[in-house]
Structure 1
Amino acid sequence: MKQRKFLNTIIAFSFLVGGTLLVTNCEVDETQKVANLTNLVMSDEFDVDGAPDPDLWGYDLGDGTAQGLPAGWGNNELQVYTDSPDNVSVENGLLVITARQVGANQYTSARLTTQVNFDQQYGRFEARMRLPLGKGIWPAFWLLGNDCDENPWPQCGEIDVMEYLGDAPTVIFGSAHGPGYNGGDSISKEYDLGNDRFDTGFHVFGIEWGPDFINYYVDGDLYQQITPEITAEEAIEKDGITNPGEWVFNRPFYIIMNIAVGGDLPGAPNADTVFPQRMFVDYVRVYN
């Protein structure tokens, strides 16, 4: 029987440099830093039907205005987030986040967050998920710095473990946002499954994160590493200034999972987009 674990044990974080990394469809430097992470400090296996565990998960609600953003969550998105069972529930061992159409250009969805109950600095964050499908559908599994209320984005930092556009079902992308490299200028890389699709089966999306690197994985394949040197170089190249590119991934971050609908990215749903659309989450686990 699956069970949820939420532990407070912290052990030393150790690094392995070198070795051969198996990557099936991406070029990766074999000298990249990787982490040896075996201590499970938080997991939700979603084995109790009903609402998600309130001791771990909370919700961002509404259209963003309550959070001080323009309506549409700063991206002209169309959904309103709720905590209704119509939009979020645990069923048969899975967390189900559902985007629904409720009127002409009107949609509801859910955005779960651990901001109040769990954050961590460094470690491995991963989730096993099956993704939705369709133009205008934008699910994400991502992290924000826990001081965003006092230290506004992008200074607080954002790590996008997995983002996906529903009209490109073979491709996900991982990104990092900070001062000088954010929004459309974030540091980002795609991972293409090739002949497979993310909406037809479950895949594990994860990062391993240390003081001077963030590694991005799909099903254990390392496809991207971001370092302080990369953030500085990226910001200088894009903005032509030497001060940005600060490495802001040196504080605890919390988890967010959601399905957005429409907006500047990924664009509005079209006639081929079928509702409801669902994202299924088998587990979320964090190691240190």
Structure 2
Amino acid sequence: MKRISVFTLALICISLVVSTSGCAQALLAPTPTPAPTATPIPPLEGWTLVWHDEFDDAQINRQNWTFDLGGNGWGNGEMQYYTDRPDNARVENGLLVIEARQEKYEGSYYTSARLKSQGLQEFQYGRLEARLKVPEGKGFWPAFWMLGSNFPQAGWPDCGEIDIMEYVGKDPDLIMGTLHGPGYSGALGLSKWNRQTYNIADDFHTYAIEWDKDQITWFYDGSAFHTVTREDVGDRPWAFDQPFFFILNLAVGGTLGGMVSPQTVFPSQYLVDYVRVYEKLP
């Protein structure tokens, strides 16, 4: 009978542990979170700051944010399960970290987080801005967006939706701004792609809208790239004369995110330096 050395037996045991998905996931350490570049709040001519979250507290501020929880695709065929665990959403080094992980959880094979300010911080008109770093990788679909406060009563798309930023990892040089409302939703949404000459995921960028009663204009790093006016929707309802709440989420897969590549790295992080709201001075 051939003998197996203690060293060989140890290697076999380690191999078996690593090949087990649950154990393998347990060995994954969270991705180190970089310290953000200092981002003082500059005065903006013609605007006054009325609300902001700089994520400088030790934990997520529950006076500003709550969570959507669950899986089931979220109407877009998404693959993740949203949780409120620190594994998926936490504050580190002055940043909100939303982390997508590859793990089996409640019937899904990926986890992530979706934060919202619904019922806590809602705004009508102004300049609404965030400084964000999106994750690289095919299958990731991070977004910074808003829904009308009447969403529970009116439903979507009658409540209106403002997508301030959507990024799709399979197209790393593109971001998109979109308006959805009754009669102009889904594939009929009023969208504009903004193509760059570099991978947007390589660094932080600022995303903003300026919104008044008659139009919404989108900005990327301070430059306007898209405007939709009340006249642009024609005889369809303009759903943007009411307060809206923020949503920050990182989806995996889905109709826009696409298939996850074998080369996509997990865990990966969507980083939020700040969210700020300015009001137009009279």
TM, length-normalised to structure 2:
0.81
| Higher deviation after alignment, 264-273 or 212-221 | 264-273
Tell me how far apart the structure 1 counterparts of residues 262 and 108 of structure 2 sit (CA, whole Å). Answer: 12
Tell me how far apart the structure 2 counterparts of residues 137 and 174 of structure 1 sit (CA, whole Å). Answer: 17
Correspondences of 1:38-49 after superposition (within 5 Å): 38-49=47-58
- Which of the numbers 269, 273, 281 marks the counterpart of 1:282? 273
> Which residue matches 2:114?
111
> Which residue matches 1:56?
64
Matched, 1:125 2:134: no
- The structure whose residues are more often helix, as a share, is 2
CA offset digits 1:228-259 (Å, max 9, x no partner): 11122xxxxxxxxxx5x211111000000000
Matched, 1:249 2:240: yes
CA offset digits 1:120-139 (Å, max 9, x no partner): 11001100011101111000
Tell me how far apart the structure 1 counterparts of residues 81 and 233 of structure 2 sit (CA, whole Å). Answer: 33
Tell me how far apart the structure 1 counterparts of residues 199 and 94 of structure 2 sit (CA, whole Å). Answer: 22
Tell me how far apart the structure 2 counterparts of residues 78 and 216 of structure 1 sit (CA, whole Å). Answer: 29
SS at structure 1 position matched to 2:233? helix
Structure 1 residue 105: Cα displacement: 6.3
Q: Which runs of 5+ in 1 are unaligned?
A: 6-34, 64-70, 233-242
CA contact (8 A) 2:127 2:210 kept: yes
CA contact (8 A) 2:178 2:191 kept: yes
SS at structure 2 position matched to 1:86? coil
CA contact (8 A) 2:81 2:108 kept: no
Matched, 1:92 2:93: yes
> Which residue matches 2:233?
231
CA contact (8 A) 2:170 2:258 kept: no
Report the structure number with the largest CA radius of gyration: 2
- Which of the numbers 152, 159, 164 marks the counterpart of 1:161? 164
Structure 1 residue 58: Cα displacement: 0.4
Tell me how far apart the structure 2 counterparts of residues 226 and 36 of structure 1 sit (CA, whole Å). Answer: 23
Tell me how far apart the structure 1 counterparts of residues 245 and 97 of structure 2 sit (CA, whole Å). Answer: 20
The 3 A distance-change label for structure 1 pair 87 and 160 is: same
Correspondences of 1:113-192 after superposition (within 5 Å): 113-192=116-195
Letter aligned with residue 47 of structure 1? D
Tell me how far apart the structure 2 counterparts of residues 172 and 37 of structure 1 sit (CA, whole Å). Answer: 27
> Which residue matches 2:30?
none
CA contact (8 A) 1:115 1:146 kept: yes
Structure 1 residue 49: Cα displacement: 2.6
| Higher deviation after alignment, 139-148 or 267-276 | 267-276
Correspondences of 1:186-201 after superposition (within 5 Å): 186-194=189-197, 196-201=198-203
RMSD: 2.0
Letter aligned with residue 218 of structure 1? Y
Structure 1 residue 116: Cα displacement: 1.8
Tell me how far apart the structure 1 counterparts of residues 56 and 141 of structure 2 sit (CA, whole Å). Answer: 26
Tell me how far apart the structure 2 counterparts of residues 143 and 43 of structure 1 sit (CA, whole Å). Answer: 16
Tell me how far apart the structure 1 counterparts of residues 116 and 39 of structure 2 sit (CA, whole Å). Answer: 20
Q: Which runs of 5+ in 2 are unaligned?
A: 1-37
SS at structure 1 position matched to 2:187? helix
Tell me how far apart the structure 2 counterparts of residues 153 and 38 of structure 1 sit (CA, whole Å). Answer: 31
TM, length-normalised to structure 1:
0.79
Structure 1 residue 153: Cα displacement: 0.7
Tell me how far apart the structure 2 counterparts of residues 37 and 79 of structure 1 sit (CA, whole Å). Answer: 41
SS at structure 2 position matched to 1:135? coil
Structure 1 residue 268: Cα displacement: 2.1
The 3 A distance-change label for structure 1 pair 283 and 173 is: same
- Which of the numbers 249, 261, 266 marks the counterpart of 1:258? 249
